[in-house]
Structure 1
Amino acid sequence: MKIIDKYILKRYLATFFVMLFLFIPIGIVIDVSEKVNKIIQNKVPFGKVALYYVDFTVYFANLLFPIFLFLSVIWFTSKLANNTEIIAILSSGISFQRFLRPYLIGATIVSVFALLMGFFIVPKASQGFNDFRYTYLKGNNKTRETSNVYREVSPGEFIYVSNFNINSKTAFDFSLKKFNDNKLDFTINAARIRFNEKDTTYTMYNYTKRKIGELDDRLETSMKKDTVFKFDLEDLTPVIYIAETLTLGELNDFIDKERERGSSNINTYLVVLYKKYSLPVSAFILTIIAVAVSSMKRRGGMGMNLAIGIGLAFTFIFFDKIFGTLAEKSSIPPFIAVWLPNFVFGILAIYLLRNAKR
């Protein structure tokens, strides 16, 4: 590696990490100012608050690292351009592609680091971050609910609840249908069902069971009935952020299991999976765009480059969020929705790079 490569790579990594460690404390201060009243009101122990902000740091650093990387590259490349260092480098006979090499090496280092973080470390931070929010900060009664849960818990056995409260472990409008050879065997309905932790049983209220016969049905009713079911409590609580809390292997297994059950949230889980791969790739694309935008000396100086960079960064965030939401809520395939922003900005990167060479 030549001196020029070491010089640019050092500036690349140093500026990125400095910007990251400058903005994270600002985010923590803003978050504390918004949540301090609820933290005091709920008498949250200091140790849990400290652990929450460790998870907060990892969670948001992973979420926003492409933007921090983009702005840091624009910042130090603009300084190189304003000091005419880039002109001197290119005038020495180094091609623009050769000049770009240390940037791509830096993007590779950051991307590999982000990829490993996303696979193994960020899921645990995400779980701590979300659990803290739902335990201490969401609402005055500290409840968390999921709604309209419908899934296959075993071959031919389907359950439905209109909503489930995880704190009281109570579900409403419970229904279980059992099929044998594609024929309905029996149905169980209850206005309310509660999980009992002591003996892992369920208590049903306003219970009704209908056994389907060839000529007539048998009906069984009771105001209250205790029973044991094969399904787990987690089958009633598919919280939307559960995919974010799983490592790569766990997430793949979870998605396979949910696909077999016909989960209505499968697109949401696939978006989380695909973003683990697309986010590091965006580091390369945004690095190329940042170099192309800031490598030329402009009349407006560094301020103009930063203005263009911030505009592009927020456009990227907009595309990423819009298409991620569309994948979760519409029929757009999650793979296309997640990778489309990278594809669009990849084309933009090629266009800007050709102009920068000229």
Structure 2
Amino acid sequence: MFSILDRYILRKYLGTFILLLLLFIPIGITINLAEKIDKILANEVPFIQVAIYYLDFTVYFANLLFPLFLFLSIIWFTSKLANNTEVIAFLSSGVSYYRFLRPYIIGATIVCIGAFFLGNYLAPTASKGFNEFSYRYLNKSRGKDREQANVYRQINENEYIYVSYFNVKEKSGNDFSLEHFDGNKMKYKLAANRIVYNEEDSTYTLFNYSKRFIGEREDSIVSAPKKDTIFPFEIEDLTPVAYIAETLNFTELNSFIAREKAKGSSYINRYEVVRYKRWSLPVSAYILTIIAVAVSSVKRRGGMGINLAIGIGIGMIFVFFDKIFGTIAEQSTFSPFLATWFPNFVFGILAIYLLRNAKR
């Protein structure tokens, strides 16, 4: 059962966090709109598309920056409590420091649960919409590089696919080929100028289709202007590597990674980083909460400004650690699990140290 102290701190914890989000998100939208308005007008983007884009923008960046917002909001209101000597009053009434910390942990639990569902179910959809709008209307040259990036994948032990261009929205690609090997020897190669995925029956339509069988002495070729067929791979196998993982929800991402592992994909680390971050970031709510309370519950001579300066510094270091180790894991053989959880481990030790000193 919650006491008056619990309700008071919990209300400030959640209220300040939500207020900070509501204050910064419009600022972010305004800055982004000021930067992109000329391209939006030049491309005559419908208003409803722009509205959906900024809804996705809000979810995307709230998920990306929520640890920093949470950290700053706790420092802000706890510093006010300390400056008003409310923290001293709580502790002088016989409340232990750990008891004083309890409503913060309850608040962190609520935020952790919310962040988990945001990161695993809402943010993937928002990420897909945000990126699609950006590539279609705002960064056409970048979108061209992304969609025309040469996608070469091993789909099973014996077969490889290639496509020079893939359009995510239209589910079509150009210069498609499938090579089938028996050991080190190619048995046949299938090629088409264009491939289109048909969602209604999960088939593929090939245009200017040809299939070359490699013989011992001579080859044979079968061709057709159009052919409907099925393939032993998913449409996601034709999607550019850097794009797909962040657009899949919890169950879809787990299934996708399992398939990629079975195929021996060389991009597993990238997908694993995305998956582990969806677990590590919600847990960081607890660690950042403890650090923020320990830093800001002490009344300092410089007032709230000193606490905020310390908080911003720690928060930026946490974000830096999170980004740099994630990038290292994506670009090397470094363990994705260690890369995504290392910031939590380091800052967890810092949280224990600061908590013990603040308790005194």
How does the TM-score come out when normalised to structure 2? 0.89
Work out the CA distance in 2 between the residues paired with 1:118 and 1:86: 34
CA apart distance, 1:170: 4.2
Farther-moved stretch of structure 1 (147-156 vs 93-102):
147-156
What residue number does 2:300 align with? Answer: 298
Which residue does 2:10 correspond to in 1? 9
Structure 1 residue aligned with 2:258 = 256
Does residue 77 of structure 1 match 2:81? no
**Matches of 2:269 and 2:172 in 1, distance apart?**
26
- Could you list the per-position Cα deviations for residues 130-155 of structure 1 after superposition, in whole angstroms to 9, with x for gaps in the alignment? 11111211226963425342323355
Change (3 A) 1:353 1:240: same
Partner of 1:201: 205
> CA separation in 2, counterparts of 1:171 and 1:325?
31
Which aligned pairs between 1:104-253 and structure 2 lie closer than 5 A? 104-139=105-140, 143=144, 144-145=146-147, 147-154=149-156, 156-161=158-163, 163-166=164-167, 169-172=172-175, 175-180=177-182, 182=183, 184-188=185-189, 193-196=193-196, 200-203=204-207, 209=212, 211-213=214-216, 216-218=217-219, 220=221, 226-227=226-227, 230-231=230-231, 234-253=236-255
Deviation, structure 1 residue 218:
2.3
- 1:23-42 alignment to 2 at 5 Å? 23-42=24-43
Moved more, 114-123 or 76-85: 114-123
Cα distance in 1, alignment partners of residues 235 and 75 from structure 2: 50
Aligned partner letter, 2:205? T
Q: Alpha-carbon deviation of 1:184?
A: 2.7
Q: 1:6 to 1:197 in 2, by over 3 A?
A: closer
Check whether the contact 1:212–1:218 (CA below 8 A) recurs between aligned residues.
yes
Counterparts of 1:156 and 1:189 in 2: how far apart (Å)? 14
Distance 1:339 1:272 in 2: 12
Instruction: Name the SS of the counterpart of 1:194 in structure 2.
Output: strand
Task: Give the superposition deviation at 1:63.
Answer: 1.2
Which consecutive residues of structure 1, in runs of 5 or more, have no partner in the other structure? none
Task: Show CA shifts across 1:171-210 (max 9, x none).
Answer: 45x5532134x353424276x73225799432459x7835
In the alignment, the residues of structure 1 paired with residue 252 and residue 309 of structure 2 have an alpha-carbon distance, to the nearest angstrom, of 41
Letter in 2 for 1:194: R
Aligned length: 350
| Structure 2 counterpart SS, 1:43 | coil
Q: 1:184 to 1:212 in 2, by over 3 A?
A: farther
In the superposition, relative to structure 1, how do residues 142 and 8 fare at CA in structure 2: closer, same or farther (>3 Å)?
closer
CA contact (8 A) 2:197 2:235 kept: no
Q: 1:193 to 1:258 in 2, by over 3 A?
A: farther
Question: Which letter maps to 1:201?
Answer: T
Secondary structure in structure 2 of the residue aligned to 1:81 = helix
Q: Does 1:267 align with 2:273?
A: no
- % identical equivalent positions: 58
* RMSD between aligned residues: 2.5
- What is the SS of the residue equivalent to 1:263? coil
SS in 2 for 1:331: coil
The aligned amino acid for 2:214 is K
Residues 197, 256 of structure 1: alpha-carbon distance in 2 compared, 3 angstrom cutoff: closer
After TM superposition, where is structure 1 displaced by more than 6 Å over at least 4 residues in a row?
Answer: none
- For 1:141 and 1:307, the matched residues in 2 are separated by 37
Q: Is 1:332 matched with 2:337? A: no
Closer/same/farther in 2, CA of residues 90 and 65 from structure 1, 3 Å limit: same
SS at match of 1:94: coil
Contact 1:81 1:294 in 2 (8 A): yes
How has the CA–CA distance of structure 1 residues 100 and 142 changed in structure 2, closer, same or farther, with 3 Å as cutoff? Answer: closer
In structure 2, do the counterparts of structure 1 residues 196 and 334 end up closer, same or farther at CA, with 3 Å as the change threshold?
A: closer
Q: Structure 1 residues 142, 255: closer, same or farther in 2, change over 3 A?
A: closer
Tell me the distance in 2 between the aligned counterparts of 1:285 and 1:141.
37
- Unaligned runs of at least 5 residues, structure 2: none
1:229 shift after superposition: 5.5
**Deviation by residue 1:150-172 (Cα, 9 ceiling, x = unmatched):** 323355221234x3242794445
Letter in 2 for 1:209: R
Displacement of 1:272 in angstroms is 1.1
